Amino acid sequence: MLTQPLSATLSETALNAVTVNDADAGAPAAQPLLQLRQIRKSYNLGQPNEAEVLHGIDLDLAVGEFVALIGPSGSGKSTLLNIIGLLERPTAGSCKLQDKETSALDDAALTGLRGRALGFVFQFHHLLPAFSALENVCLPALMQEGHVSAERKAQAQQLLTEVGLQDALQKRPGELSGGMQQRVAIARALVLRPPLVLADEPTGNLDTASSAEVFALMRRMHAELHTSFLIVTHDPRLADQCDRVVELIDGSIARDERR
């Protein structure tokens, strides 16, 4: 039976990823996770239409933070998320993830670090339609480790149980509702126990009730696993429920508030 709390069965995650002060349990630890310094990004370098879209971003995330990234359309949120996700390289500046300067890494090393340190949740779930929920959640393990161990499979099952999908392990994405698909995507993002999950409009495609449910699930995973979340959202009600709100306007940080 997979009835133990996730915090008990997956406790090695928390222990590996973060040292939580017992006296201060639940509060973000000060341990740095991400450090951006003077990040700039220009597109079409050297062309007549060259444009700088990020103008020197400084941003620190500590282990265990739950942060909203907001801002008008075109302000650079996706570009910044792609840089933090090691999917795009900045034109200038320093991006340290888990104390590792990423600008010095080649593509293979970036891919390795991305697989170990980051989980992704997108607006559209990007589940593979031909695979079951369980197989989709196991995929990051297959890609990162070359096989799916019995332990990983059990962890994937446990996560799907935690997100309320214990009866849908063998269902394909097409047989699940939008909210359920997004819950599978969250389980997939967490299966390798990354210290940081990047979510790009994770509720943007959902109705209000499913959106609230998926957001609550991310909060619960954060509370239980101490996984950090950086969530791009257009929804001010969701941003209000995050512990910190970073606002980008025209490629610069206009506001950075902890609640």
Binding residues for ligand ADP, per CB under 6 A? 43-44, 53, 71, 73-79
State how far the Cα of 68 lies from the Cα of 195, in Å rounded to an integer. 16
Shortest distance in whole angstroms from residue 77 CB to ligand ADP: 4
State how far the Cα of 156 lies from the Cα of 159, in Å rounded to an integer. 5
Long-range contacts of 77-81 (CB under 8 A, 24+ apart): 77/232, 77/248, 78/200, 78/232, 79/41, 79/53, 79/54, 80/39, 80/41, 80/54, 80/248, 81/198, 81/200, 81/230, 81/232
DSSP H helical segments within the chain, as ranges?
Answer: 6-9, 11-17, 77-84, 107-117, 133-145, 150-162, 178-190, 208-225, 236-240
State which residue, 11 or 252, has the beta carbon closest to ligand ADP: 252
State which residue, 206 or 248, has the beta carbon closest to ligand ADP: 248
Let me know: does 124 contact 205? Beta carbons within 8 Å.
yes
State how far the Cα of 160 lies from the Cα of 98, in Å rounded to an integer. 27
Angle at 187 between CA 72 and CA 33, to 5 degrees: 60
State which residue, 26 or 74, has the beta carbon closest to ligand ADP: 74
State which residue, 218 or 248, has the beta carbon closest to ligand ADP: 248
Shortest distance in whole angstroms from residue 199 CB to ligand ADP: 13
State which residue, 3 or 73, has the beta carbon closest to ligand ADP: 73
Shortest distance in whole angstroms from residue 172 CB to ligand ADP: 30
State which residue, 83 or 141, has the beta carbon closest to ligand ADP: 83
State which residue, 75 or 211, has the beta carbon closest to ligand ADP: 75
Shortest distance in whole angstroms from residue 110 CB to ligand ADP: 18
Shortest distance in whole angstroms from residue 71 CB to ligand ADP: 5
Residue with tokens 């299966």, as numbered in its chain: 191
Shortest distance in whole angstroms from residue 118 CB to ligand ADP: 18
Let me know: does 159 contact 190? Beta carbons within 8 Å.
yes
Shortest distance in whole angstroms from residue 245 CB to ligand ADP: 15
